A and B are shown apart, each in its own frame.
Chain A
Amino acid sequence: MDEAKAVVVETDISPKGILIEKIASFPITDKQVFWGRIADFDGLIPRFAEIKKTQKWKAKLASINLPMHFCDIKAFDFPKAYVKKSNIEWEIQSNFVGDPSLYRFDSIEAGKSKRGITELVLGAIAEAVDERATLLASIGLNAVAVEPDILSFYNGLASTMLSFPAPSVLLIDISYPYSSFALVKDNVFIPGGNVKVSEDFLRGVSLDAVPGFAQDLSKAFSRKFELAGFDMGEHKPQMLIVGGLSVDDNVADLIAKELEIPPYRKNPLAEGLVKLKDKKIVLSWQSYIKALGLALRN
C-alpha cells in the first residue's frame, strides 16, 4: 500500500508450489494515507473489507509493507562469531540515532561477506509499524509481518528468480514520498537509501519527473556505494530492476534509459517458480511483486 494505490495478493503455498490465487488493486487518496501514515482508518477499512468480500479471500494471515522513510537498514560486515544478541544491541545503540524505546529493531543475516557475514540491522518507528499491523487486524487478518518496502521488493524477486540475473543488480522501489534503492551484489542484499519523488510521478500524471529523479538517485547511489566500488560513472551496476505499485515496463525502461543501466526485461513469474492462477491479469508484474514478497511471508 502506498499513497496512491493498494495492491492485494493472495497466495496458496502448498507442497505443489506457490500459486497466486488472486490479485486486486484499488486507488487510495491522500486523505486516507498521508506521507505513509494512515490518516483515515474509517475510510480505508471498508475498502479492504469490500475487496475481501467480493474476491472471497480465504487468507487468515497477512503481511503489509512499511514505507522506507519510517525505517533505516544498515548492513554490517561481521565475523560470524561476533553475531550475538549483545553485540547487535550494542551496534544498534551506537548506530541508530534516537530513543530506542520508540523504535523496533531486528537483524538478519543477508549472506556471506569478506570478513564473515553480511548482517542487516534494521530499525523502524514503532508507531508506524503498529499502525499498519492494526489495519490488518481491523479487516480480520492476523498480522504476520510489517516489512520495509525495499525488502518486500527484494523478497518478491528472490522468491521468483532464486538467483539474480547479474552479479550486481540495482533495485529501485518507486513509492511516495520517498523511493528507495538497494544493491544486490552476488545475490547479497546491500541497503542503499531513499530519494524524494514527485507526487505526479507516483500517480502516473507525468513522467517528466523521471530525469530529475534519476539525477537525484545517481547522486545518492554514488554517495552510498562509492566505497563499495560502485558509482553511476564507470562502475555502474550491471542490471536494473524497478518495482512499485505504479510502475510498468514503460516507467522501468525510462528510468533505465536515464541511468544508462540495462533493465531487466523478463517477467520474473515466467521463471515458473511461482504460478499465476489467473493468466489474464492486467496489472504489471512490477506493481505486485512487492505484495507477492509479502504474501510469501506467511
Chain B
Amino acid sequence: MAKLLHTNLLLEGAAVQSAPVGSAPKASAKTKGPKSKTLSYIIFGAVILIGGTIVGYLYLAEYFGNKMSQYEDIVQHPLRMPDGMKPGGGGDPSPMPTDPDEQLPSPTTKRSGGLVQIPWIGAYEKLISSLAKADFEIFSITSGAEGRIYISGRTSGEITESIIPGITFAGIDMLDSRVSEGGTTFLADAKLAPIEEISFDPAPVPPYERGEVIRKLDTMAKSAGLKGVSTQAVGHEKIAEGSRYSISVTGAGTIGNIVAFTESAMEMKSMMEIGKITIESVSDKSIKEGEVRFGLVYRVYDLPPIKTPAVEQPLAAEL
C-alpha cells in the first residue's frame, strides 16, 4: 500500500491565516469597510513581498555571484593564464591541443577493491612536497582534467618530464613559452602519473563521519600555520560501489605550510585524495619564496575497503 507523503514547508506554528475577502478587490475597495481595509493590507503585503523578493533576488544573485567568483578564483582555473602573461598571437587562448596518440596515464594500479577508483591518492601530496625542491621559479600550479597539472613558471634550463625532482611526469606539453628577463616564462600542461602503491590501508569514510573529517581538515590546516582557512563540504555524488564527497579547503600561507597540512591529512589514513588543486603566488615571487593562496578539493570516499570486510554498514547513504 502506497503511503501518503504529506510534508510541511510552511513556517512552524505560523500557518498562513486567511483574511476574509467578501468579493473581488475592486468591489470591496468601494465600500471602504473593514473587509476592504484587510484586503488593502493583504495587497500591500503582497506588493511588499514581491518587492522584497526582487530585492532579495538581486541581493542573492550578487551574493552568490561573489561567492562563486571567490570560489572559482581560488580553486579552479584549468586554463587561466598566470598573472602578467597574455595568450600568444593576440587572440583568445586556443583550445587544448589534442594529439590522437596522447593518452592519460592508466589509472590501473596494483590496488584492489574500491580503491582502484582513486588512483590519485597521495599523488598530489607528493607533487606539493616536491615543489620546494624544483630549481626553477613556479608561479602557479592548477589541476585540470584528472591527473593533469598546469604549471606556470620561469626557467633558464630545459623543460623536461623530470623538471621537478622526485616527480616523473608522464608527459609535458608547452602551452605557451616566451623568453623574458631571467629566463623562459612558460605555461606547461603536465601529466601526472598515479601513485602505484600506498603504504597504508585507507579507511572508508561513511557519510556520518564526514563532519568529523571536515573539522579535522580545518584544524590541521590552521595548525599548519595557514591563514584565512575555510573548509566546507562542496558536493557529493554516487559512484560505483559507494559514494564520494568533496570538501574544499582554501586559504593562504607558504608552500611549507601547505606541505605540512597535506602531510598531516595523509596521516589520517582515510580513504580520501586531493582531487583538485590550485596554488598560486600572491606576489611577483615564486611560490617557493613568497606567500601563496591555495585551494584544495579533497575527495572523500565511502567505498569497500581493500582488506577488512567486517566493516559496519554506513548509517546513511543517499539513494
Is there a chain A Cβ closer than 8 Å to B180's Cβ? no
- The answer to whether A142 and B9 touch across the interface, beta carbons within 8 angstroms, is no
- The answer to whether A49 and B24 touch across the interface, beta carbons within 8 angstroms, is yes
CB proximity of A255 to chain B, nearest CB, Å: 22
Stretch at the interface among B44-52, B82-90, B275-283, B288-296: B44-52
Chain A: which residue is nearest B56 at the CB level? A127
List chain B residues, Cβ under 8 A from A94. Answer: 207, 210-211, 233, 236, 245
CB proximity of B215 to chain A, nearest CB, Å: 12
The CA of A33 and the CA of B9, in the complex, are separated in Å by 21
When the two chains form the complex, which single residue of B43, B56, B313, B317 contacts A138, counting CB atoms closer than 8 Å?
B43
CB proximity of B12 to chain A, nearest CB, Å: 9
Q: A41-B46, A187-B1 are in contact. Are A148 and B16 (CB under 8 A)?
A: no
Is there a chain B Cβ closer than 8 Å to A176's Cβ? no
How many residue pairs, one in A and one in B, have C-beta atoms under 8 Å apart?
Answer: 179
When the two chains form the complex, which single residue of B9, B18, B20, B210 contacts A122, counting CB atoms closer than 8 Å?
B9
When the two chains form the complex, which single residue of B8, B21, B49, B316 contacts A91, counting CB atoms closer than 8 Å?
B316
CB proximity of A199 to chain B, nearest CB, Å: 22
Bin chain B's interface residue count. 35 or more
- The answer to whether A145 and B7 touch across the interface, beta carbons within 8 angstroms, is yes
Is there a chain A Cβ closer than 8 Å to B60's Cβ? yes
The CA of A78 and the CA of B23, in the complex, are separated in Å by 50
- The answer to whether A140 and B20 touch across the interface, beta carbons within 8 angstroms, is yes
Q: A76-B317, A95-B318, A297-B6 are in contact. Are A142 and B18 (CB under 8 A)?
A: yes
The CA of A46 and the CA of B24, in the complex, are separated in Å by 5
The CA of A17 and the CA of B2, in the complex, are separated in Å by 18
List chain B residues, Cβ under 8 A from A66. Answer: 9
- The answer to whether B50 and A41 touch across the interface, beta carbons within 8 angstroms, is yes
Q: A41-B46, A133-B16, A136-B18 are in contact. Are A159 and B4 (CB under 8 A)?
A: yes
The CA of A37 and the CA of B50, in the complex, are separated in Å by 9
- The answer to whether B10 and A104 touch across the interface, beta carbons within 8 angstroms, is yes
Is there a chain B Cβ closer than 8 Å to A87's Cβ? yes
The CA of A42 and the CA of B42, in the complex, are separated in Å by 10
The CA of A176 and the CA of B259, in the complex, are separated in Å by 51
Q: A94-B211, A102-B60, A227-B238 are in contact. Are A158 and B2 (CB under 8 A)?
A: yes
Q: A42-B43, A136-B18, A155-B4 are in contact. Are A145 and B316 (CB under 8 A)?
A: no
User: Size of chain A's interface in residues, with CB distance under 8 A?
Assistant: 79
Interface string of A256-298 (1 = CB under 8 A from B): 0000000000000000000000000000000000000000110
When the two chains form the complex, which single residue of B47, B233, B319 contacts A190, counting CB atoms closer than 8 Å?
B319
CB proximity of A16 to chain B, nearest CB, Å: 19
Which residues in chain A, 146-172, are within 8 Å of chain B measured between CB atoms?
A: 146-148, 151, 154-155, 157-159, 161-164
List chain A residues, Cβ under 8 A from B60. Answer: 102
- The answer to whether A108 and B17 touch across the interface, beta carbons within 8 angstroms, is no
The CA of A110 and the CA of B7, in the complex, are separated in Å by 11
Q: A82-B316, A104-B10 are in contact. Are A141 and B2 (CB under 8 A)?
A: no
List chain A residues, Cβ under 8 A from B8. Answer: 106, 145
- The answer to whether A115 and B16 touch across the interface, beta carbons within 8 angstroms, is no
List chain B residues, Cβ under 8 A from A161. Answer: 2
Which residues in chain B, 220-277, are within 8 Å of chain A measured between CB atoms?
A: 233-236, 238, 240, 245
CB proximity of A241 to chain B, nearest CB, Å: 12
List chain B residues, Cβ under 8 A from A148. Answer: 7
Most B Cβ at <10 Å: residue of A106, A118, A136, A137: A137
The CA of A75 and the CA of B317, in the complex, are separated in Å by 9
The CA of A49 and the CA of B23, in the complex, are separated in Å by 6
The CA of A87 and the CA of B208, in the complex, are separated in Å by 9
Is there a chain B Cβ closer than 8 Å to A144's Cβ? yes
Q: A79-B315, A118-B319, A145-B9 are in contact. Are A158 and B50 (CB under 8 A)?
A: no
- The answer to whether A78 and B315 touch across the interface, beta carbons within 8 angstroms, is yes
Most A Cβ at <10 Å: residue of B9, B10, B39, B233: B9
Q: A77-B319, A134-B45 are in contact. Are A53 and B23 (CB under 8 A)?
A: yes
List chain A residues, Cβ under 8 A from B20. Answer: 140
List chain A residues, Cβ under 8 A from B208. Answer: 82, 87, 90
The CA of A190 and the CA of B4, in the complex, are separated in Å by 13
Chain B: which residue is nearest A131 at the CB level? B49
List chain B residues, Cβ under 8 A from A49. Answer: 21, 23-25
Interface residue ranges, A against B (CB under 8 Å): 37-39, 41-42, 45-46, 49-50, 53, 60, 66, 71, 74-79, 82, 87, 90-91, 93-95, 97, 102, 104-106, 108-111, 113, 115, 118, 120, 122, 124, 127, 129-131, 133-134, 136-148, 151, 154-155, 157-159, 161-164, 184, 187-190, 227-228, 296-297
Q: List 25 A-B contacts (CB under 8 A).
A: A42-B43, A49-B25, A78-B316, A104-B9, A115-B313, A127-B49, A127-B52, A127-B53, A129-B10, A134-B16, A134-B45, A136-B16, A137-B19, A138-B42, A142-B18, A143-B15, A145-B8, A145-B10, A146-B10, A148-B7, A155-B5, A187-B1, A189-B5, A227-B238, A227-B240
Given A139-B18, A161-B2, 4 more A-B residue pairs with CB atoms under 8 Å apart are A42-B43, A90-B208, A94-B233, A133-B10
